[in-house]
Amino acid sequence: MENLLAPLLKQALKLHGPIDLKTMITQALQMGDEGHNRNRAGTSLLIRELAPYIIQTKFSEKEKTEVLKFIDSNDHFFLNLTMPACKCTMDAAKNIEFSTIVTAMARNGTEFGIRVSGLGERWFTGPAGIVDGLLFPGYTVKDANPDIGDSVIAETVGIGGFAMAAAPAIVQFVGGTAKDAVNLTLKMYEITAAENNIFKIPALDFRGTPTGIDIRKVVEMGILPNINTGIAHKDPGVGQVGAGLVKPPMNCFEDALQAFVEDLETKNLV
């Protein structure tokens, strides 16, 4: 990746110019992806966009073929672009006074943490959960590590587990039924501030994805964000051993809301 993939893609991107990832994610959602655990459409769109420019690079035919095969071999390749795109989107919503919208979620295999726009850079954490899902053949629950990774930034922006209605085939990977996927998306509208004006769900008459997790609504409704994610092996180097659904700990949202109230009290606003 360091010696071939990165320099070749850098050269291809110079030839191509900027890629509108938001538009590409929008297209992928309308082609059966949800933006986190199913990325077949997104990866296919990326290959289609870049292949003509990869061919034009000064690398050898063998090297260009190797890179194209590498990208094509992993349906999740596009997630590597979705995650930073989502992070850039949510960073634009940071540090807005009095805002109770979640701007970041992340987990490290031990803790799950959230950040809230009106509360700056503070993290509110709780114990990372165990992902409930389907394991690859040969693995058991005992092999699974608690929830880990930064890909949950996808749900923070309103895709992934919030857009499962767009990807009925995802249930073959994370478990459940196509009806479950629709119902999980519908439930997320109850804890979010808006419907996305770009990310649309065909199965819901192109309704925008539920976007902007509001800590007040999470605590009031008692509904936690739905996250679909990969299951990592507990031992380093093994990698992914399955996929499924998981939720953050409620205390993250309760603690954040308490901190928000305390901030208002110090400003004599309550």
Q: Supply the pTM of this predicted model.
A: 0.93
Residue 171's pLDDT is: 87
Q: What is the mean pLDDT of residues 46-74?
A: 97
Residue 267's pLDDT is: 87
Q: What is the mean pLDDT of the chain?
A: 96
Q: What is the mean pLDDT of residues 167-181?
A: 89
Query: Among positive and negative, which fits the CA dihedral 159, 163, 164, 168?
Result: negative
CA distances from 157 to 1, 8, 188, 195 (A): 28, 30, 12, 11
pLDDT digits (tens, 9 = 90+) for 187-225: 999 999 999 999 999 999 999 999 999 999 999 999 999
Residue 194's pLDDT is: 98
Give the integer Cα–Cα distance in Å for 107 and 128: 7
pLDDT digits (tens, 9 = 90+) for 4-56: 999 999 999 999 999 999 999 999 999 999 999 999 999 999 999 999 999 99
Structural domains present in the chain: 5-82 (3.90.1710.10), 94-266 (3.90.1700.10)
pLDDT at 269 over 90: no
What is the side-by-side strand order in the sheet with 148-149?
124-127, 111-116, 102-108, 148-149
Q: Which of the residue ranges 8-22, 42-56, 87-101, 126-140 would you say has the lowest mean pLDDT?
A: 126-140
